[in-house]
Structure 1
Amino acid sequence: MAISRFTDLLEEARRQSEPQRLLFVFTRAELPDNPTAEQRQRFEEGEGGVLTPVLCVDKTPEELSDMAALEKESQRTGIEWDIMFVGALSGSGGEAVPDDAVERHLQRMVEALQMGNTQSFLALNRQGEAVALQ
């Protein structure tokens, strides 16, 4: 199934036979250190920049109703974000994924994103629509 919206993600996660944990890393678009004039201009036009992780959380599909609810929950943190990256972990033998494994995977996601590796994750905007990053 091609996932193009947050709703698709939830439907697919709920269809899995093993318990799922969805991993979310919220990022904010920022100017890189020592930007060139061209980088600054593109950023001011709403393009370019670097995505800096600012918040991460894990949820089971059952804890999520829709993108609006997740957006509202993120607003309560007071942390602004632009793009959300999503990964998933499956339990095994009907058992949920252990919390320590979730924490390790969230940390790896953050590290990967800090290195610019975005291809391994689903990227969604604030409206819950998949976005392609270049």
Structure 2
Amino acid sequence: MTSDTPFELLLRGATLQAEPQRLLFVFTTAELPEDPSPEQRERFASGQGGTLSPRVCVDKSPAELGSFEALRAESAKAGPPWQVVFIAALSGQGGKPATEARIEQALRTMVERIRCGQLEGLLALDVEGRPLSFG
């Protein structure tokens, strides 16, 4: 028996909502902060620390996504390599999907939150689809 991945649970939950959902993705890369200390350089070299810089934003309906592997393959073709993807859902209203303006605003807000380290309420996955937590 296999357990559902966080991504599969998100997809299933989004399809069960009363209002149409858009899934919002912000793909990020890990980088050294500006003017890093020797300790920051050492931690970054060992795969820890650094800052996450948003690179690509995408919105999709749950029906457009089959699996995390498909999302990863599509992202590899469409954009630069990434280390962490942040995901949120945006509900439509009155049975209609969210407007492009609402989607764009929500993606801008996500990018700002990521830049400021305000990650609560966002699903963070690594390139293998494993959930990440930041503390």
CA distance in 2, matches of 1:128, 1:92: 30
User: In angstroms, what is the RMSD of aligned CA positions?
Assistant: 1.3
TM-score normalised per structure 1: 0.94
Correspondence 1:95 to 2:100: no
SS at match of 1:9: helix
SS at match of 1:24: strand
CA distance in 2, matches of 1:39, 1:120: 27
SS at match of 2:75: helix
Residue of structure 1 equivalent to 2:23: 22
Opposite residue 124 of structure 1, the aligned amino acid is L
How far the C-alpha of 1:15 sits from its partner, in A, is: 1.0
CA distance in 2, matches of 1:57, 1:78: 11
CA distance in 1, matches of 2:39, 2:13: 41
Residue of structure 2 equivalent to 1:79: 80
Indicate the percent of aligned positions where both proteins have the same amino acid: 45
Point out 4+ residue stretches in structure 1 off by more than 2 angstroms. Answer: none
Deviation string 1:73-113 (CA, Å, 9 cap, x unpaired) is 10012401101001111112211111111011101111111
CA distance in 2, matches of 1:112, 1:131: 16
Aligned residues: 132
Q: Structure 1 regions of 5+ residues with no counterpart? A: none
Residue of structure 2 equivalent to 1:46: 47
TM-score normalised per structure 2: 0.93
